[in-house]
């Protein structure tokens, strides 16, 4: 049996820094035995405890004071190190099964909870997919049982709309599950490109989902993790249900499971309430999938998991205004709070949504990127509706999907309800937020209205100024589902908004700290060495963010010398101390992340091309617009000059989008 001592340093994410330091937190100045726990970070968080258990049957103890490099060098190679990762880290590795059949593992296809999926070729060059699990993640009996259950369940299923299970084998380090190759498309990737899908296409995919689910249920199996990313689409546009890692077998028609299992946006009320679930839990997920395909997002998606679960428990959601009556009725029938009130898969196949509407016999491969054209004219109305849907979705969809974090607490523990936004209970602070937002919006719209933007001259843009006195975010890390949201400003100050509502800022030299809690009036601002013991845990958490940003992130723009001069000014003053620097609000859209700081800075980082647009307050009423292009070069303009001089097209489009998001944020506080 393999054991694991720590998380490899090569996993460059914030959890790496957390787990390394957590060792000495739990066992200060002690000698540790090698520990047993799943190495995958997503699984490790499900244990609800950060205490490491020692193993009695090992011979050589390891001292936690030795260097991290030598400490982690004793670990076995993980899947990515052995078989490769995306991009330049791709490899071609030979593996052999128990019958001496040789295979070649090549390009990675995807990363799951604690497994990775790759392309696989046999001696005849037949293409398959292989799911690889490191044995070091299976040191606990429940983990081994989980893999065995997945194999047992998947091998029972043989259906056109279920990914075919071919075989499994293992070697000294890994367990291999060989499956049918279905390409790289999923309904999730298609929806990301298309934003919404026409109803005739939804029916095309839905009839395949129902057929596959009906086959699964006929074997006494509940999938328990139906979602867009687990619905694969092959090159013939045939849908395949995948990933049976959370599936279970019912002992009888009345058997129910009470474990909390699934993905937040698709979990049914009975799963959350631990009242016992079975086949209707999959029906609920189908309703969520259909709603997402038509509207662009799942029906119960909110900013926070807590609010999502509240909405699910009440069965409260907004119907897509553009959906047909039959479509709404279908979704409503699936999303009944009482599982006994939901139809089964066979009954759903007979619903008016499927029987009364046009279902194309096939879809072209181009439907993954654009609305298909039907030569016979059928579905024409839905094509036109779909274009309207796309516009509606672009406006409505201003909160990114809750991170696709699978929750599986087999022990029946409550799911972690992590708030991803900053919630201010202090009324005075709420007023300050509203005032700040109002000033920003009024200032922007005074100089540049939406109408003005649309009439910007195409030439003669304003001259760029120096970045002096402009304050913006150069680095950020979003771990709000576990720890919080961390950032670094252009003046080198670090900050973080933690999940418990605390805001903290640290000076460049780490010598000063400012701290406040959204539920308390008390502000703490002092030297780091003088910070009261009650806040040491918060400071330690902040240090994890600082270490990660320093070692793993690059600066998001080329900071000019004038900005460096600003950073050399005193970092703590009576008028504007560290405790006054925090995030008022942030949100993600499909296009960008928008961050609003207490300093008056509003910033949008666009994901597609990594450009950034910043509105920075440099005085009581003076605002500057900063644009960072794809080459990380910075241009700065006075807002007052823009209306007269105009902007380039690339800045104009981004500025228009930022103002739309700012208006949405402000509306939520008024």
List of residues 6+ apart from 545 with CB closer than 8 A: 14, 477, 483, 484, 486, 494, 496
Query: CA-CA distance, 55 to 36, in Å (whole number)?
Result: 7
Burial (0-12, 13-18, 19+ Cβ within 10 Å), 649: exposed
Contacts of 576 (CB under 8 A, 6+ apart): none
Provide the pairing of β-strand 494-498 with 484-489. antiparallel
Helix H or strand E encompassing 286 = helix 280-295
From the list 351, 315, 108, 381, the residue with the least C-alpha distance to 209 is 351
- Helix (H) / strand (E) containing 306: helix 305-314
DSSP 390: H
Cite the DSSP H helix spans in 473-589: 536-552, 561-567
Say how far apart CA 350 and CA 507 lie, in whole Å. Answer: 64
Cβ atoms of 343 and 333 within 8 Å: the answer is: yes
CA atoms within 13 A on the CB side of 293: 28
How far apart are the C-alpha atoms of 173 and 595, rounded to whole Å?
Answer: 44
For residue 423, give the nearest of 480, 506, 349, 508 by alpha carbon. 480
Residue in 45, 647, 195 with CA at minimum distance from that of residue 636? 647
Question: 310 has which bridge partners?
Answer: none
What is the longest distance spanned by two Cα atoms in the chain? Answer: 77
Closest among 428, 547, 433 to 483, alpha carbons compared: 547
Q: What's the 3-state SS for 503-523? A: EEEECCCCCEEEEEECCCCCE
Ligand-binding annotation for 135, yes or no, is: yes
Task: With beta carbons less than 8 A apart as the criterion, state whether 623 and 420 touch.
Answer: no
Contact 199, 387 (CB under 8 A): no
Dihedral pair phi/psi, residue 251, rounded to 5°: -80, -20
- The closest alpha carbon to 196, from 483, 480, 438, 397, belongs to 397
Q: Is 69 exposed, middle or buried (0-12, 13-18, 19+ CB in 10 A)?
A: exposed
* Sign of the dihedral defined by the CA atoms of residues 195, 196, 201, 206, in that order: positive
d(CA 281, CA 262): 10
**Which of 213, 200, 113 lies closest to 161, judged by CA?**
213
Could you list the residues known to form a binding site, using ranges. Answer: 135
Could you list the residues known to form a binding site for ATP, using ranges. Answer: 135
């Amino acid at each position: 049996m393999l054991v694991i001592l720590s998380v490899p340093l090569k996993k460059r994410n914030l959890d790496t820094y957390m787990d390394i330091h957590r060792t000495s937190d739990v066992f200060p100045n002690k000698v540790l035995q090698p520990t047993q726990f799943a190495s995958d970070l997503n699984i490790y968080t499900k244990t609800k405890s950060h205490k490491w258990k020692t193993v009695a049957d090992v011979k050589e103890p390891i001292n936690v004071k030795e260097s991290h490099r030598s400490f982690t060098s004793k670990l076995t190679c993980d899947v990515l190190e052995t078989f490769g990762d995306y991009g330049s880290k791709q490899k071609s590795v030979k593996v052999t099964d128990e019958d001496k059949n040789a295979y070649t593992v090549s390009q990675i296809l995807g990363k799951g909870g604690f497994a990775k999926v790759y392309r696989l070729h046999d001696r005849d060059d037949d293409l398959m997919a292989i799911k690889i699990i490191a044995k070091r993640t299976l040191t606990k009996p429940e983990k081994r049982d989980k893999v065995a259950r997945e194999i047992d369940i998947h091998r029972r299923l043989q259906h056109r709309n279920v990914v075919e299970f071919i075989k499994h084998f293992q070697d000294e380090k890994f367990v291999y599950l060989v499956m049918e190759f279905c390409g790289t498309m999923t309904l999730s990737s298609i929806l990301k490109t298309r934003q919404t899908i026409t109803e005739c296409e939804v029916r095309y995919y839905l009839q395949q989902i129902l057929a596959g689910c009906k086959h699964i249920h006929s074997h006494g199996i509940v999938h328990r993790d139906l979602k867009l990313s687990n619905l694969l689409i092959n090159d013939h546009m045939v849908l395949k249900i995948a990933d049976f890692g959370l599936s279970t077998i019912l002992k009888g028609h009345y058997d129910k499971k009470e474990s909390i299992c699934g993905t937040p946006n698709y979990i049914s009320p009975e799963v959350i309430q631990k009242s016992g679930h079975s086949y209707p839990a999959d029906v609920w997920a189908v309703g969520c999938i259909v709603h997402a395909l038509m509207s662009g997002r799942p029906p119960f998606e909110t900013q926070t998991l807590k609010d999502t679960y509240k909405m699910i428990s009440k069965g409260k959601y907004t119907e897509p205004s553009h959906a047909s009556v039959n479509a709404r009725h279908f979704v409503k029938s699936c999303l009944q709070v009482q599982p006994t009130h939901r139809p089964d898969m066979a009954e759903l196949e007979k619903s008016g949504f499927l029987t009364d509407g046009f279902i194309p016999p096939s879809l072209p491969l181009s439907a993954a990127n654009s609305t298909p054209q039907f030569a016979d004219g059928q579905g024409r109305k839905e094509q036109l509706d779909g274009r309207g849907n796309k516009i509606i979705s672009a406006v409505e969809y201003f909160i990114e999907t809750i991170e696709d974090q699978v929750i599986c607490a087999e022990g029946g523990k409550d799911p972690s309800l992590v708030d991803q936004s900053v919630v201010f209970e202090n009324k005075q602070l709420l007023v300050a937020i509203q005032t700040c937002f109002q000033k920003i919006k009024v200032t922007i719209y005074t100089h540049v209205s939406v109408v003005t933007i649309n009439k910007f001259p195409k030439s003669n843009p304003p001259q760029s100024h120096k970045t002096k006195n402009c304050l913006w975010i150069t680095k950020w890390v979003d771990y709000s589902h576990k720890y919080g949201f961390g950032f670094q400003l252009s003046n080198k100050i670090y900050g973080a908004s933690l999940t418990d509502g605390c805001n903290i800022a640290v000076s460049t030299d780490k010598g000063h700290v400012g701290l406040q809690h959204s539920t308390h009036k008390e502000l703490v601002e002092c030297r780091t060495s003088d910070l009261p013991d009650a806040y040491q845990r918060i400071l330690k958490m902040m240090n994890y963010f600082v270490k990660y940003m320093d070692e793993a992130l690059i600066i998001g723009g080329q900071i000019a010398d004038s900005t460096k001069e600003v950073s050399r000014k005193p970092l703590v003053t009576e008028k504007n101390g560290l405790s006054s620097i925090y995030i008022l609000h942030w949100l993600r859209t499909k296009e960008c992340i928008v961050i609003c700081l207490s300093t008056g800075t509003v910033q949008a980082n666009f994901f597609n091309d990594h450009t950034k647009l910043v509105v920075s307050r440099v005085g009581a009423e003076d605002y500057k617009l900063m644009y960072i292009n794809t080459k990380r070069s910075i241009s700065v303009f006075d807002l007052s000059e823009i209306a007269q001089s105009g902007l380039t097209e690339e800045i104009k489009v981004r500025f228009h989008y930022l103002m739309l998001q700012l208006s949405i944020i402000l509306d939520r506080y008024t």
